[in-house]
Each structure stands twice: as C-alpha cells, then as structure tokens.
Structure 1
C-alpha cells in the first residue's frame, strides 16, 4: 500500500506546500520514504507526490515519484504488477535498460512502449498517474476490480487526485457537502456510483483511464479491457472443471504473493481464507503468518475453528480478541479512516485487526474478499438456488408471468 496524490492547476493557486500537505495527509499509507515533484509551466503548474511502502525492491532505488532514464516520463504508483518479472524480461529483449528491480519502473516502461495498450500486458492491482512530457499529457488509471483506491476533484481550473479523500481536501477547493449523494447514502447505506460526500469529488472508476491534455485541460475518459492471458476456456466435464478451477485459484493466490517482505493472511476459519492460507503454506518453506480476530460471544467467535486450521497447516498463528472498549475505540477512528460515512459494521472488527497486525512487521496482508460472491457462500445464494429449483416445478404459464 502506497499513497499517491497530485494536481494540474491552470490558475497557479496550488502551492508546493499544498502538495506536500496532501502527501503528509496520507503518510500512514507509506513508511518507506516519500517524495514529490513540483513544476511551473507557462499555462499551468503540476505536481506529483508519493508515500511509499516498499514491498518490491525495497532499496531506495525504487523511490517515487520515479522518472524514466530519458526524463520524459514520471510516475507515482500504488499497487503491485504481478507479472512484472515476465514483462521486464520482454522489455529487455526490446532493448530497454532498467536502473532498478522495481515493478514501478516496469510499469513506466510498459507505458513508454505500449501507451494505452499496456493494459493488454499488465496483470495487477494498481492506481497510478504518469506525467508524459513527450505527449504533454497526464495519464491516470485504476485497476479492473478497483482494488486500489483513487479519488479526484475537477473544475475548469484544477484537477487533483489522491488515494484518499483527506489528501484531496488539502488542496484549495470548496469543501461543500454533496447533498444529493448524502440522501442516497441515507436511503441505501452506501454511496452510489462515483459519488462521494463532497461536491465535485469523485471515485475514479475501476477499469478506466484518464488522459488529460496539459495545455488545454481537456480530458478523455475510457474503459479498458484487461485480459493479459486472454479469455480462459473452461471444459464441460465436471471433473475437468474442478481440476481447472483448482489450477486457477492456486495461480491467483500465488501471484499475489509477489513481495520482498513478510506476507500474512487474515484467517477467519471459513473455506475462503483457509484456501488462501493452505495454498501459500504449501508453496513455501517458512511458516506463514496467519491472524484471527475472536469475539467473547461464542455464537460469533470463529477463532477456535481458525486455530484448528492454523494448527493443521502449521502456520505461525496469532489471535486477537476484541471487547466492547476496543470496538468503541475503533468506531471512533472510522471517520478518520474513511473520510465519509461508512454503513458497514464489519469495518469495526476489520480495522481493529489490521491495526494489531501492523505491529507485527507484516507489510503485505492477504484476505479472501470475494470468495463468498464467487462460490455462493452466503445463505442468500442458497435461498436463490432453492427458489430456482422450485420454479422449475411450476407449470409453463407461470414462467411467463
């Protein structure tokens, strides 16, 4: 996790101090160093900043913002490119020279080589911005699933972006409440679409990129396709499907274990997180660090089952328990963490656990989000399957209703 922020200002009202304040506001996302660039041009000023959490090439060579050897391109990047070693090897064959071992430099060289077509090549979770001095444009993008956060503010004179809303708020913008978005939040319990609690501040769409002309301020927004390995054909035979699914799940888990630092897993005791832990432990010699949150209420407590799984897998397991005092203290911290209303009570135990794990020198933490959605783990899916089967028993005319 890194923090990125930056701006293009056509009134030249944003100061270098505003930029560094925006970076400081998201400093908790880093810890391995920070940096910024601030440039004055005839028609505009621009800046990029980065709060780095080094997980690949942890040396100072990978510090950001990172500028290419030719000097025409500068990137600020949050995320991981899972296939960066393959891409690096391919680019070397094209004659590209690298000065670091980081995936940041590989991503920047992919942009230099393939431009907007780089999404056909890269596989990862990312949010990044590139100043392209050759084409005189700012290029921003967010990954296919929207794993990495990115927000932006836009009016006719200023474009600003940040990994968190608190970074955006450091720039000289009107901090007015988006009452329309708030009304929808109160109705649904979450913000719809790209809206945030603030007017003119938006969630950058997942699987999209922006190209902003530095001279005019005009911008192009496009959705990209991201299939670096092509569309996968699944077999029809059930046994072959199981084999193929096992291969895909294993590959998906292992490719996210790309790091030069300690990796841990949040182990809930369910099938999804147990699968992640099992695959990782099976494919490494040292003990995997696993973490579980327990509750005093035995009807909610999955910690004993998680411990059984950890013992079976022989992981280095740690349990934490949350009580009422811990829950209240964590609840009070949520406005700072999210910067806007959050209607998911699950954020309380998650924030509590992550804070505890942060003290264990684990920089990369894997979970199993999406497992229940992909494999119908929720009880509501069982109800839907039951109703679907029952509907097949209805007479034909009923299906037309």
Structure 2
C-alpha cells in the first residue's frame, strides 16, 4: 500500500527535517520504497505516491486512486501529478477541496505561510491516516508506528483502546492503541492551524426510500460496477483480483475479465477442511468468466509459520483471523507478477448482504405489534415459572422478546463476549478503573444516529461502513497486501457505486428475508446461478478447528495466551479458562477468543515490553 508521512514543527529547520526523513526511511513500512519528499523550514511531506512544493510555500501529498470532479484539475493531475492538482484545488477551494475529489484517497496539505495543515480521507475511508499532536506541532502518517519516530510522540499504550480491541477485535477509530495517536474516519477533514485542531465530517450519505424503476436501475448498477472495475485496467500495471467465489469477488473478477481481451488473473485460497473450503465456488466463477485461476491451499503448518509475521506487520493489535488467508492470497498474486489486486470488499455493506441484517429486521417487527399485545406478552412471560419458560418453545419466544426489546444498535452486540461475562472476571481491577466499558457501544450509537431520515437497515449499513469496513476489513486487506508487497483497490467502494446504493430502497435491498435481493436480481445473467444462490462465506479461517488437533499451533496459541498473564490487563484465571473452554467447548466460538488474545500478545512482543 502507498504510504504518506508528514510533520509540522516550527522549531525544526530543513536539515532537521531531512534527518527525520532519513530516520523514517529506516522504518520497515518505508524501507526500500521509492519516496517523493518535499521539505521547507518547519514542515515536510513524504510519500511513495506524489508530493509537490509550490512557490507559495504550499506542500501537498496524496496517495490512493483519486478522481477529480473538475476537468481542469484532472488535466493538471495527468500532466504534473495529483499533488500539484491538490495544491491548486486548495488554492481555489480551501477547506472545500474535498468537493473536487472522488474515490480512494488520503491527502495532506501544509500551508507553511499560514502555519496550516489539512488532512482528509475519502468518503468510506479506504485509506487510513493517523495523527499526533506534540508540544511543537503535528505529525501524521499512514501508519501509527511510523509516528513513533517523530520527536515528542510517545508509545504509551491507551487502556481504552486495549479494552476496545477485546470488544471489537480491532482498535476502532478515532482512537488508536497509543494514547497520543489518533486516526481519522472516512469522510473526515482535519484542520490544524496555530494550536487549534478541529475535525469536520464533510459528507454523510442521503438514503432514499421512494419507488424506483427496477430494470433501469439494475442496468445502471451493472454499468457502474463494470466501469468502476475497468478504471483499474489498461494502465499497463499487472492487475489481478481476489476470488473467494462470493457475490462481490465474483462480480469484480467478472468485470475485470469483461474489460480485457486476454484472460484475467484471479487468486483464491482454500482450506483442507470441508465446512470452510469454498474453492468449488471460486472455480465455478473462474470457469464462468474464463479467468486464469491461481489457487493456494492453506495448511496449519503454513499458518503457524506466518502468524507471528502477520501480527508484527500490523501497526495496532488486529484480531481478524481472515487476515491470514488474505495475506497468502496477496502473496500468491505478488509471486505471479501482479502489482495491483482488486478486492470485492463493500458489497454486503452497501447492498444488504450480511445475515445480521435479516435477523435484526425480524426483531424490528416486534415494535410494530400493538402496545397492548406486547405488554400482555411480556407480562405473561414474566409471570410464568422459570422452569416452564426454560422449555422449548417458550424459551425461544422469551429470548426473542428479550432481544427485540433491546434497541439498535445495542442489539447487534448481543452475542459479544464482553456482554456475556462479568468484566471483573476478565480484567484486573486496576485496568477496569482506567477504562470506560460503555465507550465502544456509545461510539456505535453515535455513528448509527448520524444519517438523517434513514431506515434501520440503512443505519446498520452506514454503521458497518465504519466498524466493518474502515476499522476492520479494509485494515486487514490493506495491511496484508502491504506485507505481501502489492497494492490493492476496492472498486465496489467507488463513489458512484456508493451513491447508487443509497438510491435503492431498503425494502429492495433485503426483501422478504432475501439478502441483497435487488443486487441479485440486477446481476442475474451476469453471475453464475450457483454464485447468486450460495450462502456468504468469504475467507473464513478454520483456526478453532485446527487448534483442537495441531500441536505446533496449540503451542503457539496457548503459550501466547499464557504469556498475557505477565501483562497488567487480564486476570490469570480468565486466560486459563479461555484455553479450557476451547478444549472442552465450541471450537469455532472459543477459537476466535484464543485468536484475539494470541494476536494481542504476539503484537506486544514486537512492540512493547512486559
């Protein structure tokens, strides 16, 4: 992935900034990368995308795959580079420069004459951007760990971020694992001037619920998707596509095959575990679109060798186990000569494809029942003996009522491990005293409430743009592609695709219990029937299953969990119990808990002493 770094420190002269950039070049994420850097007294920007220094003291840098809404700026970007176009956009529009940009970008503008910095991310947050205030200025970069090389930025761990990690299995924005370092969300613009820092949310989706004409909108969806993919072909860069055999990766692979006369290269990962292996669907898609298919079967031995490397490659603790197959898939593509991979992330979160949406809509129906009926039902269940309510089907009815009475988005976390065990049995008293256990859910409520006049389904989708995409899945794919040495792009998150998804009424996204109803209808005849009708899976890892029988994997995982006892966060009895539960309980559910704890310790071993 392209990287960006910058620093504003009025006390640093140009030679001091040059030394900082040299030191930055020693950091692993920047090593052996071809850097563009511009330096002025007190300010510098470096990236392996494009950097520019104007005669008026405006320094700019940009990474990603931006498009320009202004044809003049687009022509300037083609002639002089996107950073020069960004500088001109800033001169013309100031803080409103975001209006001239579309699609994936991370940008920085340093106006040395005014002592001003602008930072911004694209609307979804396909890129990532961290920042840290110091006593003398502001530092920013594409990775948190790079900022630790800037004088005045400390590596103190934030207890809240660590709690949030166990809650969400990643460190949610706007916080980071480090107290001093923060990160932007999608559609945010940061303005730093003098000693004042403010953040503006420059865009919110406008969801529409009025009637649509199905066939024209379906044709528009197909043409928009095909155009979003075709934009990455024809540049001379070797381009391939992830292919899991799901709706989205198959759409991207098919569109890439459609865009070129020769076969497109697709890359798939399988597992020697029947319930997890989706290779058959990937082969169906590859055969249908006549792609040049590349396959790799991941074994537990290969996993054991790669897991510490993956943990070390992340700039924050990261607990999504599908990072492992994503890395091997990206590595396979790099070995086959690809420079860019197209990923299908985003389709479920735009068009209503996650099982939890269907489930939550069933709970939403409870609120439509007459109040007297709801009251009688709740009173009746409450008055029955516990032994009777515990029997099926009353148990199931009581559980439904209990969940339905919990509002969204809180209900989405009903099965969260930290809502099912007393926190004082998990964490030490000192650690709990330093955190707000309600903070993760409060942040989700705030995000869920942002869109105006949105349905429950669309609010869940928007929430997932942050918690599932920007904070999780895109971190996973970005970091693993970076580790493999390959760029990645997300055509389904093209602004035109996002805007079109907002025009599809909720009732057509999920209709009569059918997920992605409109999308599947629109793609009928394009995607194979078997792909349209398959259940969602993706790159799920059979870690919990492997862990039951594979000795080296057990040793790595259990030893890592046990080593967390030496850190001042968890109760030792909880860590022992986590291992016992995996050995005696549900392998997949408790395997996920073991993975999350293991990756935390492995990350600590490369970053922080005990």
TM-score band, normalised by shorter chain: 0.7 to 0.9
| Alignment check: 8 A CA contact 1:292 1:319 kept | yes
Q: Which of 76, 83, 103 is the matching residue for 2:61?
A: 76
The answer to whether residue 154 in structure 2 is matched with residue 185 in structure 1 is no
Whose strand fraction is larger, Structure 1's or Structure 2's? 1
**Which of 218, 233, 242 in structure 2 is aligned with 1:266?**
242
* Alignment match, 2:46: 49
Question: Superposition pairs for residues 2-401 of structure 1, below 5 Å?
Answer: 2-12=2-12, 15-25=17-27, 27=29, 31=33, 33-40=34-41, 45-52=42-49, 64-68=50-54, 70=55, 72-82=57-67, 84=68, 87=70, 89-91=71-73, 100=79, 102-172=81-151, 173-213=153-193, 216-225=194-203, 235-255=211-231, 257=233, 259-388=235-364, 394-395=369-370, 397-398=372-373
* Partner Cα distance (1:25, 1:48) in 2: 16
Contact 1:330 1:352 in 2 (8 A): no
CA RMSD of aligned residues (A): 3.1
With 130-139 and 331-340 compared, the bigger mean Cα shift is at: 130-139
Distance 1:354 1:202, change over 3 A: same
Larger Rg: 2
Is the Cα contact below 8 Å between 2:131 and 2:182 reproduced in 1? yes
Deviation string 1:353-373 (CA, Å, 9 cap, x unpaired) is 222222233222111112222
Q: Which has the higher contact order (CA 8 A, sep 6+)?
A: 2
Q: 1:38 to 1:102 in 2, by over 3 A?
A: closer
The 3 A distance-change label for structure 1 pair 76 and 30 is farther
Question: Cα gap change, 1:30/1:112 in structure 2, threshold over 3 Å: closer, same or farther?
Answer: farther
Q: Aligned-pair distance for 1:323? A: 0.9
CA-to-partner distance for each residue in 1:214-243, whole Å, 9 max, x for gaps? xx343332221389xx99897523334433
CA distance in 2, matches of 1:166, 1:323: 31
Counterpart secondary structure, 2:101 = coil
1:353 match: secondary structure: helix
User: Residue 256 of structure 1: CA displacement?
Assistant: 5.2
Q: Distance in 1 between matches of 2:188 and 2:142?
A: 15
User: Contact conserved, 1:23 with 1:167, CA < 8 A, in 2?
Assistant: no
How far apart, CA to CA, are the structure 2 residues paired with 1:178 and 1:395?
A: 47
Distance 1:138 1:247 in 2: 38
State the match for 1:59 in structure 2.
none
Scaled by the length of structure 1, what TM-score is found?
0.82
Q: Distance in 2 between matches of 1:51 and 1:105?
A: 15
1:158 CA drift (Å): 3.3
Bigger mean CA deviation after superposition, 243-252 or 3-12: 243-252
The separation in 1 between residues aligned to 2:271 and 2:128, in whole angstroms, is 30
Contact residue 77 and residue 83 of structure 2 kept, 8 A: no
Distance of 1:253 and 1:330 partners within structure 2 = 31
Change (3 A) 1:397 1:248: farther
Query: What is the CA–CA distance in structure 2 between the aligned matches of 1:24 and 1:150, rounded to whole Å?
Result: 20
User: TM-score, normalised to structure 2's length?
Assistant: 0.55
Contact 2:76 2:82 in 1 (8 A): no
